[in-house]
Structures are given as C-alpha cells and as structure tokens.
Amino acid sequence: MSKVPFQLMMPQSRMSSVVFASPHSGRDYPWSFLRRTVLDERTIRSSEDAFVDRLFECAPQFGAPLLKAGAPRAFVDLNRSADEMDPALVEGVRRQAHNPRVASGLGVVPRVVAGGRAIYRGKLPLDEAQARVVDYWRPYHDQLQALLNEARSYFGEAILIDCHSMPHEALDGIAATGAQRPEIVLGDRFGASADGEIVDRIEAAFAAAGLHVVRNAPFAGAYSTQAYGRPSKGQHAVQIEIDRAIYMDESLIRPNANFHAFRKLLRGIVAEIVEIGGRGAVPVAAE
C-alpha cells in the first residue's frame, strides 16, 4: 500500500489557527490492493474525493498546514471512527447497535464504493482490518490532533477545515424541489462542531466568489467534525463539500476544462478562510 499514511504540507510560518485536511483524496492504488478487488481500476476510485488535495494545496502559501491522506478511501476510510468495523466484511466482528454508515458498507474498512458496489468477494481477516487502522488511520489522526493542539497553543484556538467533494447526483433531490442546486455544502453538525461566526465567515467567502452555499443538507459532517469539533474548548471543525461536476469529469475521474479556473477561484477563498484564524506568524522551526 501507500508508503506513508499521510502527507503533510507545512507553511514556512504558521500564520493562522486554521488546519486544512483532506482525508479522502488518497490515490495510491498499488497492484497488491487492486488484485484483491472485484472492481476495475476506475470503479474502485468512485468513492475517492479526487483532486481535492490539489484544490487546497495553496493553503501553506497563506500560512496554514494541509494534511492529506496517503491511502485511498476504498482501502481505509479516515473519516470514520476506528471502531466502525463492518461485520458483513470483517471476520470475527460482532454486531453492535445499528450504525447506518456501517450498515451501508461504509465503515472504517469499506465494503462498498459509490453506488453500493462491493469491493471484495468474501470477507477480510480481522487482523488485516485492524492493521489498516494501526498503520494508516491512527497515524493520520495522531498527526491531525497534533496540528490542532499546536494551533491552540500558538493562537488560543484551532479551526479544522475538513475538505471533501460530493457526487453531482447527490444533490438531485434538492434540485428536484425546484430549489437552486447547491455547489458547496458546509457541515457543522447543525451548529455543534463550530462557532456560528466562523461558519458565517466561511459561507461568506464562498458566496462572495459567486458560489451557491447551503449548510448541513445533505451532508452535516461525519467523524472528523464530530470528533474534533469542540467549540467550548476553542477547537472548531467545519466540513466542506464541493460539487465534483464543477471541476472534474466524474465518469473519467479527470480534471475538466474548468479545473484550473476553479482552483484559482478557490485560492482566494482559502486565503479568506486562513484569515479567519489569523493571529500573527509562528515560525515552523519553533515546532
């Protein structure tokens, strides 16, 4: 698998309490993994937040770190709890209280990709599933928490921006009602994971760039926003979902003709989001 559980892009100086993370953009699909799946190389990527890390890779230029996954989501889902093991996939896992994510095959070790298409034929050994958590999930989250702890130490607060993309079809239900189709969905667990003023400013940054923004529907935030969003302790978490059709060809999993223009547009938005947590420079060397 991926030689590293994550990649960390650090600024020369941390200028802000904001930390960007992209847990679903990992795209290292070596043959050792592909030969075990019943899916072809394109279908196995359908759950991947393809190119999201490239969209946000400018963050360090403005003084904020970017943490991105090494392993792909189809192998281990970093936006799930470590104990969300799927008994329908992993041998020896006992059924627990109903969990809709696990029941749908989207636990920490996914059973399916987008559209409910099975990744494997048969089950995986428990020790293999646990190894994925130990080797990939835990180092990623240890590093993420370290970045947030450092932000709180330096700036008195931490703001996690969890970066994702959503299939265009995920918004068909909203469009069917006659409402304007959202291009950006912000998730703050209905106000539980971040201070309202922070979310207001993030929404304003996207709206000022001409993008239609909604909150919490159809995505309110998953594990990362729930686990790291602690506003009462000065630690905030906001999930950003971007309509993939804006910047990529979903069927071919390739950047589309609008990719570079959208990345340029997003650059200005990222700069404004970093400014929300701006408190002055802290040299990285001090870390």
199 within 8 A of 213, measured Cβ to Cβ: no
pLDDT score recorded for residue 180: 85
pLDDT score recorded for residue 39: 96
pLDDT score recorded for residue 133: 97
Phi, psi of 43 (to 5 degrees): -65, -35
pLDDT in tens, 243-275: 999 999 999 999 999 999 999 999 999 999 999
pLDDT score recorded for residue 32: 83
pLDDT in tens, 75-127: 999 999 999 999 999 999 988 888 999 999 999 999 999 999 999 999 999 99
pLDDT score recorded for residue 87: 96
Written as one string, the DSSP assignment of the chain is --SSSEEEE--SEEEESEEEEETT------HHHHTT-SS-TTGGGTTS-TTHHHHTTTGGGGT--EEEESS-TTT--TTS-TT---TTTBTTPPP-S--HHHHTT-SSS-SEEGGGEES-SS-B-HHHHHHHIIIIIHHHHHHHHHHHHHHHHHHS-EEEEEEEEE-GGGGHHHHHTTSPPPSEEEESTTTTSS-HHHHHHHHHHHHHTT--EEESSS----HHHHHH-BGGGTEEEEEEEEEGGGTEETTTTEE-TTHHHHHHHHHHHHHHHHHHTEEEEEEGGG-
pLDDT score recorded for residue 281: 61
pLDDT score recorded for residue 177: 75
Measured CA to CA, the distance from residue 155 to residue 6 in angstroms comes to: 25
Residues of the chain with pLDDT under 70: 1-2, 175-176, 280-287
pLDDT score recorded for residue 31: 84
pLDDT score recorded for residue 148: 98
